[in-house]
């Protein structure tokens, strides 16, 4: 529940980009950190509960470009649905890598989180392309390029904070 709340609060740290339906948020940081700190099962459970809360109508997802929240079944037609599905994949993937020792060194932690981020991007971009019937060029411009530097920073910070987070989890 605490990890789910962490993801939901991180989603509210959002910067709307005027040229993209995808906001810059803290969700990826929270999802990667949750998977790394809690492992496969609890990381996936936290991300799944987050998704379930959105489907149940709670305003936990990042605000849209208009500043509103997509909730309930409208989530299923949102152009950012793929990123939320990617959170499920990423939390499980990073958690599985953590359980296999990938988070024992900073470099391997970064690698595990890059794998998680790739899962988020892959799922998010596929759905964004489909939902908006966009060209791949526009899809990349709206859903990938503006986020690369920020996600690199989030991964570096998450990897650096992970040992501290483990103390709280234990």
DSSP code per residue over 99-110 = HTTTTSSHHHHH
Q: What is the SS3 assignment for 63?
A: coil
d(CA 92, CA 155): 16
Query: pLDDT per residue over 127-153, tens digit each?
Result: 999 999 999 999 999 999 999 999 999
Which stretches does DSSP call E strand in the chain?
14-15, 24-25
Q: Write down the pLDDT at residue 170.
A: 67
**Which secondary structure element, helix H or strand E, spans residue 41, and what is its range?**
helix 27-55
CA angle 10, 15, 16 (to 5 degrees): 125
Query: Which residue has tokens 């953590």?
Result: 98
Q: Write down the pLDDT at residue 46.
A: 97
d(CA 80, CA 41): 24
d(CA 46, CA 3): 6
- Quote the pTM value: 0.93
Residues in the chain predicted with pLDDT less than 50, given as ranges, are none
Around Cβ 21, how many Cβ atoms within 10 Å?
A: 17
Closest CA to 50 of 67, 29, 30, 79: 30
Q: What is the separation, in whole angstroms, between the first and last Cα of the chain? A: 15
User: DSSP character for 67?
Assistant: S
């Amino acid at each position: 529940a605490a990890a789910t709340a962490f993801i939901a609060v991180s989603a509210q740290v959002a910067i709307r980009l005027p040229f993209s339906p995808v906001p810059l948020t803290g969700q990826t940081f929270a999802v990667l950190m949750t998977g790394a700190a809690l492992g496969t099962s609890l990381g996936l459970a936290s991300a799944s509960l987050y998704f379930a809360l959105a489907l149940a109508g709670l305003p936990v997802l990042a605000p849209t470009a208009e500043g509103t929240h997509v909730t309930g079944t409208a989530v299923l037609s949102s152009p950012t649905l793929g990123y939320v599905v990617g959170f499920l994949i990423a939390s499980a993937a990073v958690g599985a890598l953590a359980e296999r020792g990938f988070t024992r060194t900073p470099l391997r932690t970064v690698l595990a989180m890059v794998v998680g981020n790739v899962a988020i991007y892959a799922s998010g971009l596929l759905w964004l392309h489909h939902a908006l019937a966009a060209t791949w060029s526009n899809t990349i411009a709206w859903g990938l390029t503006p986020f690369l530097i920020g996600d690199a920073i989030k991964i570096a910070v998450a990897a650096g904070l992970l040992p501290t987070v483990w103390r709280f989890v234990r």
